[in-house]
Structure 1
Amino acid sequence: MLFWQYDPVREFKTAFRVSFRGVTMADASMLHGWMNEAHVIPYWRLDIPFLEYKLHLEKSLSDDHQKLLIGKINGRPVSYWEIYRVREDIIGGYYDFDDYDQGVHLLIGDRAHLGKGFIYPLLMRTLHLQFQKTETKKVVAEPDVRNEKMIHVFKKCGFIPKKEVVLPDKTALLMMCTREAFERRWMDWQGNRF
């Protein structure tokens, strides 16, 4: 069971409509296509045969330390999210975590959706959902150190780089967003000062 109450049809109003829903096996083909996009392959390394990817997705969906989400803009799927509990994740072995720390992995799928400004409202709304759990004091991310664009996005949304960590699949930059940093960025976002 996850830390937060998750409403899969919750929508937020911005310049465009942002919404999320849970991933199902019916998404396997779309997600496999996204995993084979040139901008995704270097960081996710899931450009594997479809049947192998389906097995990977089944395993991920059955892992109750995380929730898999599809982020949508105006009802159209554009992004994939993994929201997880740090205490049950490998990253928990790399810093002194609090029991209610959460983490986030994300990608924008189709290349046509890159550079449209979608990532900021999607990430801010995801963080808003994660901080609904009052015990959660921070959310972590661990983008690949080579992924300068995502590091920039995380910084803009309130994450602070902490240290490089060598994970089994990548060298990552451990980044943290505290509740206080998020609340400041949220107010900036709401006041159009982002």
Structure 2
Amino acid sequence: MSRPDPIATRAVPAIGCLEILPFCAQADAPTAHRWLTDPHARFWGMGDNTPADTRRYFDAIDDAATHEAWLGRCEGVPRFLVEVYDPRADAIGAYYDVAPGDTGMHILIAPPERRIPGFTWAVFAFVVDTLFARADVARLVVEPDIANDGIHPLNERAGFSYVRHVDMGDKTAAFSVCTRAAHAGAMQSLSPAHARAACREPAVAVATADQEIMQ
């Protein structure tokens, strides 16, 4: 099955070529199912899904004008999943006043076969940059579970500001937002290694930064 052209690509020093492609439910749902039912994806709440459940989930996204799913690859290998949505058509939209240009996102990194320093941050920065490259995106919104300790530092590093806790029934969310200006400012204050993973400076900037441990 041939795939459509990538939505975005980025060559990241010491990590490789990242690509974002439209999610194809027929081809990609089995891969996503393995990721979503792995314990590391527990905050997605899909651990008990059957393969048919997961396929229906992505078919519904494909049919919705308000939602998108993306498959992310590194060096041609599927490695991450992204959901993009209009908050007015999602659960979080019931808990705040949605502004024009607000766009929600969810990111899932595949269970790692081996640890690559900086990989998660490189993907996160790539996704945020890709979304802000869209003229209709004015602000990003996220609603991670407050217990999801791994995502909060990434959100803060990218420029998200915590707004408040939101009791959404199935979780208590740390509702946060990121404007274009906030993201641009955050990218100016990164450590050398984080800046390089986000493709914000030449790879030769600081030789010792390769030793840094990044999320």
Q: Which residue of 1 aligns with 2:128?
A: 127
Aligned-residue offset at 1:114? 5.6
TM-score of the aligned structures, taking structure 1 as reference length? 0.87
1:10 is displaced (CA, Å) by 2.5
CA displacement 1:89-148 (0-9 Å, x = unmatched): 221222222111111101112232666422212121211121123343210111111001
Q: State the TM-score, normalizing by the size of structure 2.
A: 0.79
Q: Secondary structure at the match of 1:112?
A: coil
**1:143–1:174 CA contact under 8 A, matched in 2:** yes
User: How many residue pairs get matched?
Assistant: 188
Runs of 5+ unmatched residues, structure 1: 1-6
Match of 1:191 among 193, 201, 210: 201
Q: Provide the rounded CA distance (Å) in 2 between the counterparts of 1:113 and 1:180.
A: 35
Match of residue 38 from structure 1: 39
Which deviates more from structure 2 when the two are superposed, residues 137-146 or residues 110-119? 110-119
3-state SS, counterpart of residue 145 of structure 1: coil
Secondary structure class of the residue paired with 2:159: coil
Structure-1 separation of matches of 2:137 and 2:149: 27
- Following superposition, the deviation at residue 69 of structure 1 comes to 0.5
- Paired position in structure 2 for 1:75: 76
**Does residue 174 in structure 1 map to residue 160 in structure 2?**
no
Q: Aligned partners of 1:27 and 1:160: how far apart in 2?
A: 33
Counterpart residue number, 1:145: 146
Does the CA-based 8 Å contact 1:162-1:176 persist in structure 2? yes
Q: Which has the larger radius of gyration?
A: 2
Q: Which runs of 5+ in 2 are unaligned?
A: 206-213
Q: Percent identity?
A: 24
Q: Secondary structure at 1:133's aligned position in 2?
A: coil
Q: Distance in 1 between matches of 2:88 and 2:178?
A: 16
* Structure 1 vs Structure 2 CA RMSD: 2.3
